[in-house]
Amino acid sequence: MNVRRATAADLETLRELRTAFYDECPEPEHRRKGWGDVVDHVRRAIDESVVLLAEQGETPVGFTIAWAKNERVGYVSDLYVVPDQRRRGIARALLAAASHELDREFVTLTTELSNAGSRAFYRRLGFREESINLVAESARVGDLEGPMAPSFGSVHVQTDDSGAVARAVRQYVPRLPGESKGSVVSAPRSGWVAVYDELCDREPPLLARLARELSDRMGAVTLAIGVDAGEVVHYRLLERGRIVDEYVSVPEYHGPLPPGDVIALGANPTVVARLTGADPKDVRAVARTAAAPSELPPATELLEAIARAMGLEGADHGYREARELEGAEQIRGD
């Protein structure tokens, strides 16, 4: 395999490789450009920046385009290897050659959040994720009237004494900061009593406060579990009022965290198994984490799978649906 600088005579080859690249990995609509939109830029890059071709014999198998952003930083805009030549070190060789040609202290690039394989490859080469680009339709920026994905959750207390749970809910919920329209306490199901509250659906952090209070008062294992903003599954497992395990499917959904905190927000299958009777292998298989919701199953499906592994019933909905539960006790709010 040979890596060389491209020339103007290679424009047709670069067009074919670039077309294959963006057919395989389409850019988001707001950045999408055809060859006619970029050909002049590629010509300039051949003359003034870095455009490299990888070849097996006389057959082109990959390319990269890069240029200097400033005196210290270079930027790689395109890197592609044809599918049947991957995992042979070609992309690594192209990237290393581009970095050498750029002759800058740092090299940067971008890749899509949804492209987990690409991101893992770049991390192996020493790149670290530094920022996230956000995009929105201009006409909808600041549109507070637009629909928002719902949050919902429930608290599950490891007991068959639903009456005691209802008494605790009556005493504590009025002390939460806000007015609840009502709560529902389920009948015992598989050794658990579930609590649903309208205010906690609207304000997910309050769900954890309710779980802590119920766990502390009853000396019981308690689980607060739900979906935030329709995209992220979050649970807290408590024993005698103390959080012993916490899981967030997208740990940095609300902002960057120290690496140790990201790791800590993964499920602990051993603790979950000890307190719920779940099979650790099942918990490990379903309680996955990722950098973005798009890298995981839909949040409701993920929640259902986690609840099933723990032997919970009724974790897949909030207060509104819980009002229809047979045998449940409804507690009116303010």
User: Does 259 score more than 90 pLDDT?
Assistant: no
What are the pLDDT digits (tens) for 193-243? 999 999 999 888 899 999 999 999 999 999 999 999 889 999 999 999 999
Q: Report, as an integer, the average pLDDT of 246-256.
A: 90
Reading phi first (left if > 0) and then psi (alpha if -120 to 50, else beta), residue 311 is in left
**134 compared with 329, residue with greater pLDDT:** 329
The phi and psi torsions of 98 (rounded to 5 degrees) equal: -65, -40
Q: What is the radius of gyration, based on Cα positions, of the chain?
A: 26
pLDDT band (50, 70, 90) for residue 334 = low
Q: Hey, what amino acid is at 116?
A: A
Say if 147 falls within a structural domain.
no
The structural domain count of the chain equals 2
Q: Which pTM was predicted?
A: 0.59
CA 4 to chain centre: 38
Question: Containing domain of residue 299, as a range?
Answer: 152-332
For the chain, give the percent of residues with pLDDT over 90.
69
Mean pLDDT over the full length of the chain: 90
SS (H, E, C) 255-317: CCCCHHHHHHCCCCHHHHHHHHCCCHHHHHHHCCCCCCHHHCCCHHHHHHHHHHHHCCCCCCC
The pLDDT of residue 142 is 61
The phi and psi torsions of 12 (rounded to 5 degrees) equal: -65, -40
If asked whether residues 216 and 95 sit together in one domain, one would say: no
pLDDT band (50, 70, 90) for residue 25 = confident
If asked whether residues 111 and 159 sit together in one domain, one would say: no
Say if 316 falls within a structural domain.
yes
Q: Do the Cβ atoms of 152 and 317 come closer than 8 Å? A: yes
SS3 107: strand
What are the pLDDT digits (tens) for 101-147? 999 999 999 888 777 788 888 988 889 888 777 777 776 666 545 45
pLDDT band (50, 70, 90) for residue 250 = very high
The pLDDT of residue 246 is 96
If asked whether residues 226 and 122 sit together in one domain, one would say: no
Last residue of a domain, one of 131, 160, 190: 131
If asked whether residues 163 and 200 sit together in one domain, one would say: yes
What are the pLDDT digits (tens) for 68-113? 999 999 999 999 999 999 989 999 999 999 999 999 999 999 888 7
If asked whether residues 199 and 303 sit together in one domain, one would say: yes
- Supply 264's token pair: 């800590």
What are the pLDDT digits (tens) for 154-168? 999 999 999 999 999
Q: Report, as an integer, the average pLDDT of 12-39.
A: 85
Q: Report, as an integer, the average pLDDT of 14-25.
A: 91
What are the pLDDT digits (tens) for 161-199? 999 999 999 999 888 888 888 999 999 999 999 999 999
The pLDDT of residue 150 is 80
If asked whether residues 27 and 87 sit together in one domain, one would say: yes
- Burial of 50-63, coded b for 16+ CB within 10 Å and e otherwise, reads bbbbbbeeeebbbb
pLDDT band (50, 70, 90) for residue 50 = very high
If asked whether residues 212 and 67 sit together in one domain, one would say: no
Q: Hey, what amino acid is at 260?
A: G
